[in-house]
Amino acid sequence: MKNFLLILLAAVVFSSCSMGHVYGLFSDYNTVNKSHPELLKGTDTIPVCTLKPGVEPKVYIINASQLKTCLSNDENALVYIWLPLCRSQYCYPLPVIQNACKKRGINLFVVARYYHADMMDADYQLEHPIFGIDTKHYKANLVSKYTKRFLKDLTNDGLDDYKYFDHFMYFKKGELECTFRSLDSINQIQPLVASSSLHTARLPIR
Predicted structure pTM score = 0.83
* Long-range contacts of the stretch 61-65 (C-beta < 8 A, 24+): 61/131, 61/132, 61/133, 61/134, 62/111, 62/131, 62/132, 62/133, 62/134, 63/133, 63/134, 63/137, 63/138, 63/150, 63/153, 64/150, 64/151, 64/152, 64/153, 64/154, 65/153
Residue 160 CB coordination number (10 Å)? 8
Assess contact for 78 and 107: CB atoms under 8 A.
yes
pLDDT at 7: 41
Ranges under pLDDT 50 in the chain: 2-18, 194-203, 205-206
**What CA–CA distances, in Å, run from 169 to 33, 54, 191, 206?**
28, 25, 13, 9
Q: How far apart are CA 96 and CA 98, in angstroms?
A: 5
pLDDT of residue 75: 92
Q: According to the model, what pLDDT value does residue 164 have?
A: 67
32 — phi, psi (to 5°)? -70, -40
Side chain identity at residue 184, one-letter code: D
Q: How far apart are CA 198 and CA 167, in angstroms?
A: 28
Tell me what pLDDT residue 23 has: 87
Rounded Cα–Cα distance for residues 176 and 187 (Å): 17
Cα(80)–Cα(82) distance, integer angstroms: 6
pLDDT at 141: 98
pLDDT value of residue 196? 38
Helix (H) / strand (E) containing 202: none
Write down the pLDDT at residue 190.
77
Cα distance from N-terminal residue to C-terminal residue, the chain = 49
Cβ atoms within 10 Å of 158's Cβ, excluding its own: 14
pLDDT score at 49:
93
Predicted pLDDT of residue 77: 97
